[in-house]
Amino acid sequence: MSQEIIDKAKKWLSEPIDTQTKETIQKMIDNQDQTELVDSFYKDLEFGTGGLRGVMGVGSNRINKYTLGMATQGFSNYLNHSFSGNQVKVAIAYDSRNNSRFFAETVAAVFSANNIKTFLFEDLRPTPELSFAIRELGCQGGVVLTASHNPKEYNGYKAYWNDGAQLVAPHDSNVINEVNKIKGITDINFDKKESLIETIGSEIDEIYLEKIKGICLAPEAIEKQKDLNIVFSSIHGTGITLVPAILKKIGFTNVNTVKEQAEPDGDFPTVVYPNPEESEAMSIALKQATDTNADIVMATDPDSDRVGIGVKNTNGEFQLLNGNQTGALIVYYLLSKWKENNKLTGKEYIVKTIVTTELIAKIANGFNVKYYDTLTGFKFIAALIGELEGKETFIGGGEESYGYLISDFVRDKDAIASCAILAEMTAFFKNQGKSLFDILLDINSQFGQYHETLTSITKKGKSGASEIQEMMKNLRETPPLTLAGSKIIRILDYKSLEEKDLVLKVTKTINQPTSNVLQFITEDGSKVSARPSGTEPKIKFYFSVKRNLEKPQDYFDNIVTLESKISRIKADLLEI
């Protein structure tokens, strides 16, 4: 046991903390097994570029009122400095996780104590509505209390700027610096000013839902298919507050919620992980969809910024689509309808992240619409939208991790609007006698069948971090020449911001912020991205391969062939 850890715990005991926290810390110190003491105090929970995320509990390495208080004090200091002379305003939302309401009230108290006008949602609300509320209410910042789709032990704190987007440079590092200046609990002002805290709720809901209704492109199709059989699960999260409401508002009358998962519950009792990317989390919804012969099944994560869907395949069985497939369907539908409605003027654009399927780029090119790539993370998509505001028109976009955005009145991924557009798409194509899976086959036939997988390799501890660094170093210094028998023709290094064309033997600069990501592009169009996680002891490899789809009935055989190709690429990479 390090004396430094004991000293840190005893310092907390000397601070003005509540009796229960003091008693818990003392028990940790007195316990012969000091594992909990070490885990709780061996480091400070780090305020990163996205805010805080961690296990709830007592200590400097846990999510609690004091660590959140220090984060909010630092953020308050930066906001007051940045907007000196003005009444600073913030909005706060929270999800269904345990303690989220208490944490939201704690954060509101600190903001108000620092003379910041604070709008606090009356009850749990989706993250995209928080982004919307910041812009709608003219706030300079905002916070949502959520740990996204992490297990039930976690909670977190996402910080937003006045554009409704998560913090980007220079504000991200500047806020981190201010938070790091908070050296102890005595530096936090908890003296709440009730007069500066205002409750918000249904009035913001209505404005937000009207905005989403305004982006619908096929009201006549919804009217014809208003009894479309939709199964929806909120997986015990915030989606239940607005997804059924928006589907009803745009005209759907047969929306069936999964009752076992409809009640907001921070213990997430029916799932291992409350994540629609996991088939296990979708299993109850899929069974209900199968039993009721539904047209589409949708499920959102706890803070409703991600959505997963299931559709019937050509065998009549429900099949979950991955984030790349759903994103491609959304982009194809949006561009098809914008073209049909004569809305394409040459100034529109689509956005995806660098690890998201190239199929989206192919679709955009097919419609002669510009597309942009950004680094991984929706804050980079939001930053680009802000940069192009007033010059070009954002249609939509997204990332492979099940996050999508349609229109720009929200500046974060938005599962509420995505559910609306996915239901509308289903109605539109059903009106033509087709399912979303049929459309996916059409897209693959026209633009190529792309197949993507993600592999994460975990390397724990200090030695693990070194191993990950060594893997990236080796890939940079001795890159592969071929992958699965196809020559590497381009290497993109987002750390040095260099793109090497190995055919033309030229190097050009990548116009992105720096990031520790490497990409290899092969002659046959395969793409591999290597990216160490910024928050976990992992290195992630994103694999994308493609093949022509000559006949729709070849789809499943192609999947087998493409999976085999990815296995060969993995084998080649592991030899490096």
DSSP string, 514-567: --S-EEEEETTS-EEEEEE-SSSSEEEEEEEEEE--SSGGGHHHHHHHHHHHHH
CB 527 within 8 A of CB 486: no
Look-up of token digits 């209390």:
145
Q: What DSSP letter does each residue of 167-218 carry, written as one string?
A: --TTHHHHHHHHHHT--SGGG------GGGEEEE-HHHHHHHHHHHHHT-S-
Distance between CA atoms of residues 416 and 373, nearest Å:
24
Q: Give the gyration radius of the chain's Cα atoms.
A: 24
Run of H or E including 467: helix 461-477
Which is it for the CA torsion 208, 83, 123, 274, positive or negative?
A: positive
Parallel, antiparallel, or unpaired for β 89-94 and 117-121?
A: parallel
Are 276 and 225 in contact by the 8 Å Cβ rule? The answer is no
Nearest to 358 by CA among 371, 368, 339: 371
The closest alpha carbon to 447, from 371, 531, 348, 542, belongs to 371
Beta bridge pairs of residue 256: 231
User: Which residue, among 50, 61, 132, has the nearest Cα to 91 in the 3D structure?
Assistant: 132
| CB atoms near residue 342 (< 10 Å) | 7
> Is 148 labeled as catalytic in the residue annotation?
yes
Distance CA 485, CA 46 (A): 43
Contacts of 47 (CB under 8 A, 6+ apart): 71, 74, 175, 176, 179, 180
Q: How far is CA 188 from the centre of its chain?
A: 30
The active-site residue out of 76, 100, 148, 435 is 148
Amino acid identity for residue 406 in this structure: I
Evaluate whether 311 touches 436 at the Cβ level (below 8 Å).
Answer: yes
Say how many C-beta atoms besides its own lie within 10 A of residue 283's C-beta.
13
Q: Which residues are catalytic?
A: 148
